[in-house]
Amino acid sequence: MSPGVYLREAFACEAARVWWSVRTVLAGLLLAISGSSVDAADLRIMVHVADHAGVPKKDFAEAQRHVRAVYRAAGVVVDFLTAPRREAAVDDAHHVELVIFSDRMVTFELQSGHLTTQVVGRASRPLGRAYVYYRHVAAHARDTRSPLSLVLGMAIAHEVAHLHLPPGSHAGGGIMEARVSGRMTRIPTFTDPQAAAIRGFLAGEQRSGAGIRLAQAQTPPADRPAAGSEDLVVMEVARRSIR
């Protein structure tokens, strides 16, 4: 990559980061000026699930419970739906998609060079879509002797958060850490600034109605591997096996 291209991409990333920070602050100011308090029941994320991997129902239900607990601690309600996002009712929730890749889809991504075996999830903000690579989630759970539901819940919570946090939101620890290693016994929570940023984003979307407009917009099919421009907003959680 030439220095010029690198600098242009770096500038674009920094501009996006600043914009997301500004809009979060503005959302908080609007709430303060209006004198209204934010109730967790008023800030909701509706996750429309396309499970192409056939995750065992018990493990998936437990993973969803973990995700709800993490977001509840941040003051946000999360619900999971199997209906397509395009069929979402008009409401105040922010509708996003979760696509769990099958083995065939993961293999396609690996062979196309868009994926490595270390990556368990990605997120595309423009599409409002999170991706989880179930084969890699299950491998990490097996290799580290971690409960499958915890690893899956961690991947889902992390990737969905990228849809509501500014670019470059990986942290040095906690649930937004870029890498996980060793045996998992619990899912970390969001830091106070991360939780405030998510609430601010959702409050802004609720006031503008942008969440439901995104839900009703025409987006590329969710049952196809992420490719093209989505790679520009890739956020990863990498796995390391116990040595």
The answer to whether residues 130 and 99 touch, using CB atoms and an 8 Å cutoff, is yes
Cα separation, 201 vs 160, in Å, equals 13
Burial of 116 (0-12, 13-18, 19+ CB in 10 A): exposed
Strands, DSSP E only, in the chain?
A: 44-51, 77-81, 94-101, 121-124, 129-133, 179-181, 238-240
What would you measure as the largest C-alpha separation in the chain, in angstroms?
Answer: 54
Residue 219's pLDDT is 53
- Got the DSSP string for 17-43? HHHHHHHHHHHHHHHHHHTPPPPGGGS
DSSP letter at 119 equals B
* Those residues with Cβ within 8 angstroms of residue 104's Cβ, 6 or more apart along the chain or in another chain: none
Residue 3's pLDDT is 37
Among 117, 88, 136, 97, smallest CA distance to 224 is for 97
Residues in a beta bridge with 240 = 181
Residue 173's pLDDT is 78
Calculate the dihedral angle through the C-alpha atoms of 168, 169, 174, 180, rounding to the nearest 10 degrees.
-40
Residue 182's pLDDT is 85
Q: How many domains does the chain have?
A: 1
Predicted confidence pLDDT, tens digits, the chain (243 residues): 333 433 343 444 444 444 445 444 454 444 444 444 455 558 999 999 999 999 999 999 999 999 999 999 999 999 999 999 888 777 889 999 999 999 999 999 999 988 888 899 999 988 999 999 999 999 999 999 999 999 999 999 999 999 999 988 888 878 998 888 889 999 999 999 999 999 999 998 876 655 444 444 445 555 554 443 233 233 345 544 332
Cα separation, 199 vs 150, in Å, equals 24
Among 139, 141, 161, 159, smallest CA distance to 150 is for 141
Predicted structure pTM score: 0.76
Among 128, 35, 29, 28, smallest CA distance to 84 is for 128
Residue 241's pLDDT is 32
Residue 4's pLDDT is 40
Cα separation, 202 vs 94, in Å, equals 7
Strands, DSSP E only, in 62-208?
A: 77-81, 94-101, 121-124, 129-133, 179-181
Give me the domain span that covers residue 221: 3-240
